[in-house]
């Protein structure tokens, strides 16, 4: 067994272990809310809070299963599309969370979960030790999966990261619209993150966490669009090909995962008008951007997969 493969296998176990504390905390929130020991999060009634955290419990369980699938023999028998989809969505969440955690630590701001930073409601009076455990779960899982997943790819699909051998000038194919919509969506988010006010209806509801998450989402959308454009227009050097693939993979996953998470939350707040939750963006514009980002992320992934199928082994 090669050293790189051993490191990848150890990282897969570490990714699964890192999410255990997140899973335990979320289960305690649900149980505590149902027993009347813990209050519901800001902007939620008991039913909505339980549903929200039950969904995140399922996501954590899927993440733990993914980590084990990347190292255990049964993971090689799981359909490749299922493994790829779960890894893609999970990576999309993590590449947005990690910068949020890092910037929040540097600013020494009040610790809150990404869900509570003006996006989907947060836990009421979260203890500091819980916030630390949640952040360690995100950071540990993200770093570990970044090592474990490429090792799994090399074991299961040895040609996945190789540059396609083509005689034509282009290294990828597919429709143009995901590149265009990704660039447009990312530009709007970047404008808001930089302090732009067009499309903002509540200027006071823009905490630092909101700026960070919107800015990170903008950067990933723009980076994925630029990388996809490069793959379409020219045949990249062997050194840059895996980097461009990873950028499209992570950027499209970030758009699909985070906007897929924010879209129902935005619709919920728009329809129910909770008194203690207000989004800064115009509701109709925010819904349009999130829906566009979800479709764009899926479109970029489809282009990436089609490009891989077109390449000879």
For 150-161, letters b (16+ CB in 10 Å) and e give bbbbbeeeeebe
Distances (CA, A) of 143 to 133, 140, 148: 15, 5, 9
Two structure tokens written together for 39? 């209050």
- Kindly report, residue by residue over 45-71, the tens digit of the pLDDT: 788 788 888 988 998 998 899 999 999
Half-sphere exposure (Cβ direction) of 151: Cα atoms closer than 13 Å: 24
Q: Report the DSSP beta bridge partners of residue 281.
A: 200
Check pLDDT > 90 for residue 221: yes
- Highest-confidence range of 89-103, 203-217, 284-298, by mean pLDDT? 284-298
Q: Could you count the other beta carbons within 10 Å of the beta carbon of residue 263?
A: 18
pLDDT at 235 over 70: no
pLDDT score of 114: 45
Q: For 142-189, what is each residue's pLDDT tens digit?
A: 888 888 888 888 888 776 555 555 544 444 456 789 999 999 999 999
**Partner residues linked to 200 by β-bridges:** 281
191 pLDDT more than 90:
yes
pLDDT at 23: 92
Q: How confident is the model at residue 126 (pLDDT cuts 50, 70, 90)?
A: low
Q: How large is the average pLDDT for residues 229-244? A: 73
The tokens for 195 are: 């302090």
CB contact at 8 A, 91 and 224: no
Task: Tell which residue, 286, 3, 27, 22, has the closest CA to residue 147.
Answer: 3
Other Cβ atoms less than 10 A from the Cβ of 46: the count is: 12
Instruction: State the pLDDT confidence band at 190, using cuts at 50, 70 and 90.
Output: very high
Q: Is the pLDDT of residue 232 over 70?
A: yes
**Is it the case that residue 302 has pLDDT exceeding 90?**
no
Average pLDDT, the chain: 80
pLDDT over 60 (residue 22): yes
Q: Percent of the chain having pLDDT more than 90?
A: 26
From CA 116, how far away is CA 42, in angstroms rounded?
8
CA dihedral 67, 70, 76, 82 (to 10 degrees): 60
pTM over 0.85: no
Output phi, psi for 281, to 5 deg. -80, 155
């Amino acid at each position: 067994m090669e050293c790189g493969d051993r490191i990848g296998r150890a990282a897969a176990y570490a990714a699964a272990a890192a999410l255990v504390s997140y899973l335990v905390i979320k289960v305690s929130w649900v149980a505590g809310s149902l027993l009347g020991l813990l209050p519901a999060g800001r902007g939620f009634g008991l039913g909505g809070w339980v549903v929200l955290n039950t969904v995140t419990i399922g996501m954590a369980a899927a993440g733990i299963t993914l980590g084990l699938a990347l190292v255990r023999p049964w993971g090689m028998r799981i359909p490749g599309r299922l493994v790829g989809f779960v890894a893609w969505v999970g990576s999309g969440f993590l590449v947005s969370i990690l910068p949020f955690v890092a910037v929040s630590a540097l600013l020494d701001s009040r610790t809150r979960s990404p869900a509570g930073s003006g996006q989907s409601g947060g836990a009421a009076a979260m203890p500091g030790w819980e916030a630390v455990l949640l952040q360690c779960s995100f950071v540990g899982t993200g770093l570990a999966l970044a090592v474990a997943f490429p090792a799994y790819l090399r074991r299961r699909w040895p040609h996945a990261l190789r540059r396609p051998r083509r005689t034509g000038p282009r290294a990828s194919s597919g429709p143009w619209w995901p590149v265009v919509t990704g660039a447009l969506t990312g530009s709007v988010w970047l404008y808001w993150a930089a302090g732009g006010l067009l499309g903002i209806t509540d200027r006071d509801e823009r905490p630092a966490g909101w700026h960070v998450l919107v800015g990170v989402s903008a950067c990933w959308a723009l980076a994925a669009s630029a990388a996809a454009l490069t793959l379409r227009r020219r045949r990249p050097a062997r050194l840059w090909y895996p980097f461009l693939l990873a950028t499209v993979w992570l950027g499209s996953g970030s758009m699909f995962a985070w906007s897929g998470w924010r879209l129902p939350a935005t619709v919920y707040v728009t329809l129910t008008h909770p008194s203690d939750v207000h989004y800064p963006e115009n509701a109709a514009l925010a819904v349009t951007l999130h829906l566009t980002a979800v479709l764009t992320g899926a479109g970029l992934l489809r282009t990436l997969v089609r490009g891989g199928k077109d390449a000879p082994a």
